[in-house]
Amino acid sequence: MEYQNRLQGRDPLMGLPSGFRSYVKQRKDMESARLSGNGLPNYAFAMDYELRKKLDSIPQLYSLGKKICGTVASRYMQMYNREALLVGPDQFPEVYQIGCDCAKRLGIGIPNIYIINDQTLNAYTYAMDDVEPIIVVHSGLYERFTLGELRCVIGHECGHIHNQHGVYNMLAQLLLVGGLAAAGGALSAQILQLLTMSSQVALSAWSRAAEVTCDRAGMICCEQEEDAYQVNAKLMYGAALGEHTVNLEALRRQLEMQMGNMARLDELLASHPSSVRRIVAEMEFAECEVFYRWRPELKKPGQVMRSRQETDERCRRFVDVMKKG
Ligand SMILES: [Zn+2]
C-alpha cells in the first residue's frame, strides 16, 4: 500500500484565481515540508512505517480488515449518533474548538467528536478511507482531564487520521482493546480465530509504534508538553485524587525496572505501550528538532536538540518490548 499523495502527477492548481493559487501553493509547500520521504508526516515514528509495511505483506489482512471494519464502523457510528453527544459550535463549544485547533495545526479536516457516558479513561478514533472519521471521548476522561490535557488527547486522535492509521488501527482496537473487543463480542472473537498468532503479534507491535506517532501528534497540538506527560500519568493513577505533578526521574527509574524484567513480554499482545514507556518516549520527542519545526515557540533556552533519526533510535529502545534495554 502506498501512502504517497494520490494527487501526484496532476496539477491541482490549474484554473484557480492567482491570489488563491499562491495561497494554495504556500499551503502545499508548507505541507510537503512536513512530510517525510514515505509520504507520512515528518514526526511519525520510524517503527510505525516499518511495521506497517510488514502488516501490508500479510496476505488478506488489509482486505479482510477493511471489510470487517467497514461493517463494524457503520454500526458503531449509528450507535454513537443514538447514544452519544456530538459536539459542535453550540454543543460543548470548548471541545469543538479544540478539535478545530488540532485539525488546523495538523492540516486535516475537522473531525466529528462524540462524548459518550463511560467512566473509563479512554478516547479512540474510527477512520476509514471512505467514511468520515469520528473521535469518541469517554465522559470519565472529559471530567477528569484539564482542557490542556484534553487538547493532547484530541491531538493524539487527530494523529491517527493524519497518519492514515485507519483500518489497522480499528482492527487493533476491535481485537486487542479489552472494552471494545467485548463490545464487538462474537465478531471480535471470530476475527481473532482467523488471525495466526504471529499476525496478532505483528498487529500489536505496529499498534504500539503507531501510538508513539500519535503521542507526538498530541504534543504538536498541545499548549505545553507537560500536559502530554500528565495525560499518560493520569491513565496510570486514574486522576481521581486531583492534580499531581509527575516526577519524571522517578518514572524513568520505574521504566528501567520494567525493561529489566521478563514480565515485559506480557506486553507482546498489548495494543498500547505501557504509560511509563509512552511518557519516556514523549520526553525524547521534546528533545527532537522536528517538534520545534512545528512548535518553535515552545523551545526553551539551552534546549537539547536531536535529529529525528537519533530520537527514533532512542525511542526504539524504550518501546520495543523484546529488548531488554
Ligand atoms: Zn491512539
Domain that holds residue 116: 37-319
Residue from 151, 270, 158 nearest 213 by CA: 158
Distance (angstroms) between ligand 1 centre and the Cα of 124 equals 6
Distance (angstroms) between ligand 1 centre and the Cα of 15 equals 39
For the chain, percent of residues with pLDDT exceeding 70: 79
pLDDT band at 180 (very low <50, low <70, confident <90, very high): low
pLDDT at 1 over 60: no
Distance (angstroms) between ligand 1 centre and the Cα of 207 equals 8
pLDDT at 205 over 90: yes
H helix runs in the chain, sequence order: 18-33, 46-56, 61-83, 93-106, 139-144, 147-162, 166-176, 178-194, 197-221, 225-237, 248-259, 275-285, 289-294, 308-319
Give pLDDT tens digits for 268-278.
Answer: 778 888 899 99
Say what the pLDDT of residue 206 is: 96
Residue 136 lies in a domain: yes
pLDDT at 16 over 80: no
pLDDT at 248 over 80: yes
- Give the mean pLDDT of the chain: 85
Say what the pLDDT of residue 272 is: 86
Distance (angstroms) between ligand 1 centre and the Cα of 211 equals 5
Distance (angstroms) between ligand 1 centre and the Cα of 125 equals 8
For the chain, percent of residues with pLDDT exceeding 90: 52
End-to-end Cα separation, the chain, in angstroms? 32
pLDDT at 100 over 90: yes
More confident residue, 91 or 322: 91
Distance (angstroms) between ligand 1 centre and the Cα of 213 equals 9
Say what the pLDDT of residue 18 is: 64
Residue 101 lies in a domain: yes
Distance (angstroms) between ligand 1 centre and the Cα of 165 equals 9
Say what the pLDDT of residue 39 is: 82
Say what the pLDDT of residue 7 is: 34
Residue 15 lies in a domain: no
169 grid coordinates = 488501527
Number of domains in the chain: 1
Residue 7 lies in a domain: no
Distance (angstroms) between ligand 1 centre and the Cα of 249 equals 25
Contact 175, 192 (CB under 8 A): yes
pLDDT band at 2 (very low <50, low <70, confident <90, very high): very low
Distance (angstroms) between ligand 1 centre and the Cα of 262 equals 26
Residue 27 lies in a domain: no
Contact 85, 115 (CB under 8 A): yes
Distance (angstroms) between ligand 1 centre and the Cα of 92 equals 22
Task: Tell me how far apart the alpha carbons of residues 309 and 41 are, in angstroms, rounded to a whole number.
Answer: 14
Give pLDDT tens digits for 28-60.
Answer: 666 666 877 778 999 999 999 999 999 999 988
Distance (angstroms) between ligand 1 centre and the Cα of 9 equals 33
Residue 22 lies in a domain: no
Distance (angstroms) between ligand 1 centre and the Cα of 156 equals 6
Distance (angstroms) between ligand 1 centre and the Cα of 20 equals 35
Give pLDDT tens digits for 117-174.
Answer: 999 999 999 887 677 899 999 999 999 999 999 999 999 999 999 999 988 998 888 7
Distance (angstroms) between ligand 1 centre and the Cα of 235 equals 13
Residue 42 lies in a domain: yes
Distance (angstroms) between ligand 1 centre and the Cα of 146 equals 19
Cβ count near 275 (within 10 Å): 18
pTM of the full predicted structure? 0.86
